[in-house]
Amino acid sequence: MGTIVELSGVNKVYGTNHVVKDLNITVNEGEFLTLLGSSGCGKTTTLRMIAGFEEPTSGSIKVEGESIEEKEPFERNVNTVFQTYALFPHKTIFDNIAYGLKMKKVPKAEIKERVLEMMDMVQLTGFENRYPSQLSGGQKQRVAIARALINRPRVLLLDEPLGALDLKLRKQMQLELKRLQKKLNITFIYVTHDQEEALTMSDRIAIMHDGVVDQLASPTDIYEKPATRFVATFIGETNTYDGCVTSMKDGIANVTLENGAVKVKCDDSFSILEYATISVRPEKMRFDSKPHEGFELVAVVKDYIYVGSILKCIVSLPNGNELKIERLAGQDLPEIGSRIYPYWNPEDGVLIHNDSYKIFKALDDIKLA
Amino acid sequence: MAKRISNHEFKSNTMPAIVTVGPVAILSLFLVVAPLALVAIMSFCQTDEFYNVVYKFTAINYSKLLSPDYIKIYGQSLLIALITTVLCVLIGYPFAYVIARTKSHKKKLFYMLVIIPFWTNSLIRIYGWRTFLGSSGWLNMLLLNLGLVDEPVEFLYKTGTTVLGMVYCFIPFMVLPLYTAIEKLDGSLLEASSDLGAKPYKTLFEVIIPLTSGGIFSGCIMVFIPCLGYFFVSNILGGGNTDMIGNLIERQFKSANNWPLGAALSIILILVTLILVKIYQNLGGDMDSLGV
């Protein structure tokens, strides 16, 4: 599995607005990579730079080892599925899908054969002579995908392609897209702000935040080993605690929080006295009616929320911070207002560097110099 | 109180038609319908030996319109109007495209450049061209001073000069509908076309022009029709060498003093206009964009 797209040191600046900051991403062949982030994080700009609609202010973009910054969009072997579909309203569905082949001057008979085959693949047979305005949102979406895929691009870029569909259709299209991607073995670079979509479909996810990739990893790693506080809070629900690392032993750190000391697993990159963040998912949280060894947290049960098979407990720490703890429904639970002692298995928590890490690194560099 | 207001509103909504559309109807009756009817009636009237209008039916005015001299002028009018329209499209389209697609803040400025000439009477502007192009005009002075020519070049009184004046007069009427059509064009369609491998000229012919054809067509109608009836441009710049239907009509009413014949010519021009507008409408043209 070789590298197919490589972005190195890519920056994009609009006036005083630094949208994409020193981006380095390597996309593997045949991979489904998602750029995930909230709006304005630079994910669409990144995609548009790969497609050629935007020019990077600096840095290089390589597709199949070849620099493409200088190439016009029509010279690049990548195709885009637009968020608004961008179907040609004056052309029939057949002509829309055939457009790319027509531009490549493929013989008419072959165009017809390939278009019909593609229409079959996206389940649009029989719609050849309709116009885009006569199709539903989901059908337009399929045409947009067919129109891009028929060119057999090495890389398909998808800019929030399911954003305009309703939830049910979106779920169905997610599976269909994934199926198409596996079947055709084309690299997909997919932009979305929907974390569930990203987790469902992707081989790897790049979480973008403020023009920077915070973490590029598999969905499992993103969820279980978030690299930054932003990633931890952006993906799924979590409880975060800021505190100071007071001691480390056998891969377990003692961290002192505002509300008392706790334990969490850590690696060698942390140092004593570093100010760091702990993230613990609600389903990994435990509590007991008496203090747990190594944990000094005390909380009061505020509320219970039933979510089908699970039960969310909202508990409040002395400093007013709220924690979410998930329990299977049907268990005996303390009454609202009663005192509990939250804890977790140190292996289930994640210790995350935050900004103070940079200061520690800088201090280290000074010492070394 | 509230009830009374709503009662009042109720009444004003059901005012009789004579109160609401009445004034407009009366105005257009006197200013549009009556004069047109008068022109139509006059086109069937005779003249006595002193060219006074005699209200007696005849079709002779219409039969006169078929004389070869006139037919030559119709042909010339159509040709000039056609060339003007084509030139307006060729010059106006790129211009409209640039101002409609630019993201620059100068967009409004460019737009104003199209509008500003409307603030001056077109007759005065055409006289300006005459002064500029005349044998002792600025252009000739420049050419003489640069030594490019030995004696003044006669730019005026040529068909080309009339066309120049016409294009100059009518280009805003082409640019504005084109601008509206091009501005509405979804930018992602152009990106999609390029993304699918279309070179810029392919995108132009496959996407941009088909999707703005409505604007092109309304622009053409708005240039072609008035161009047929314009007389002062060919009067001033063409010096009578490039007569158009408009000149013919003007002459019947002024120098030749044959009003019934002029009226018949006017009726023909109105009919040609109506036919063109009808064709435009049948092709799916939007009447609003003609300002009708």
Domains along chain A?
Answer: 3-229 (3.40.50.300), 237-368 (2.40.50.140)
- Chain position carrying tokens 């039960």: A311
Q: Does A155 touch chain B (CB under 8 A)?
A: no
Nearest-CA distance B109 → chain A (Å): 22
* Residue at B40 is within a domain: no
Pairing mode of beta strands A78-81, A155-159: parallel
Nearest to A88 among B197, B202, B207 (CB): B207
Nearest to A103 among B191, B198, B211 (CB): B198
* Residue at B155 is within a domain: yes
CA of A247: how far to CAs of A109, A255, A266, A272, A349, in Å? 73, 7, 11, 6, 16
Q: What token pair was written down for A321?
A: 């911070």
User: Long-range contacts: B127-133, Cβ < 8 Å, 24+?
Assistant: B127/B236, B129/B164, B129/B165, B129/B168, B129/B236, B129/B237, B130/B156, B130/B236, B130/B237, B133/B161, B133/B237
Test B197 with A103 for CB contact under 8 angstroms: yes
* Residue at B72 is within a domain: yes
Q: What pLDDT, on the 0 to 100 scale, is given for residue B252?
A: 87
Return the percentage of chain B with pLDDT > 70, whole number: 92
CA distance B221 to B88: 11
Residue A309: phi and psi, rounded to 5, are -75, -20
- Integer distance in angstroms from the first to the last C-alpha of chain B? 42
Tens of pLDDT along B108-129? 888 888 888 888 888 888 888 8
Tens of pLDDT along A145-187? 999 999 999 999 999 999 888 888 899 889 989 999 999 899 9
CA distance B268 to B73: 13
Test B197 with A147 for CB contact under 8 angstroms: no
* Residue at B99 is within a domain: yes
CA distance A28 to A358: 30
Is the separation of the CB atoms in B133 and B161 below 8 Å? yes
- Contacts of residue A84 in chain B, CB cutoff 8 Å? 186, 188
pLDDT exceeds cutoff 50 at B5: no
Nearest CA in chain B to A104: B197
* 3-state secondary structure (DSSP) of residue B110: helix
Is the separation of the CB atoms in A148 and A190 below 8 Å? no
> Which residues in chain B belong to E strands, given as ranges?
46-47, 53-54
Tens of pLDDT along A254-308? 999 988 899 999 988 888 888 899 999 999 999 988 898 889 999 999 999 988 8
Q: Could you tell me how many CB contacts below 8 A there are between chain A and chain B? A: 61
CA distance A96 to A118: 12
Test A79 with B189 for CB contact under 8 angstroms: no
Q: Does A74 touch chain B (CB under 8 A)?
A: yes
* Residue at B48 is within a domain: no
Closest Cα partner for A83 from A159, A193, A189? A159
Nearest-CA distance A124 → chain B (Å): 20
* Residue at B22 is within a domain: no
CA of B7: how far to CAs of B10, B12, B88, in Å? 5, 9, 55
Test A52 with B194 for CB contact under 8 angstroms: yes
Q: How many domains does chain B have?
A: 1
Q: What stretch of H or E contains A365?
A: helix A355-368
Ramachandran assignment for B251, one of left (phi > 0), alpha (psi -120 to 50 degrees), beta (any other): alpha
Q: Mean pLDDT lowest for which of A220-229, A343-352, B152-161?
A: B152-161
CA of A160: how far to CAs of A34, A47, A198, in Å? 10, 11, 11
Domain that holds residue B139: 66-290
* Residue at B1 is within a domain: no
ipTM of predicted complex: 0.82
* 3-state secondary structure (DSSP) of residue B21: coil
Tens of pLDDT along B194-253? 999 999 999 999 999 999 988 898 899 889 988 988 888 888 888 777 788 888 888 888
Nearest-CA distance B282 → chain A (Å): 18
Domain of B251, CATH number, reads 1.10.3720.10
Instruction: Kindly tell me the sign of the dihedral angle through the C-alpha atoms of A280, A285, A289, A293.
Output: negative
B164, B168, B174, B175 alpha-carbon torsion, rounded to 10°: 130
Q: Does A45 touch chain B (CB under 8 A)?
A: no
List Cβ neighbours of B36 (8 Å cut-off, separation of 6 or more): B270
pTM of the model: 0.80
* Residue at B54 is within a domain: no
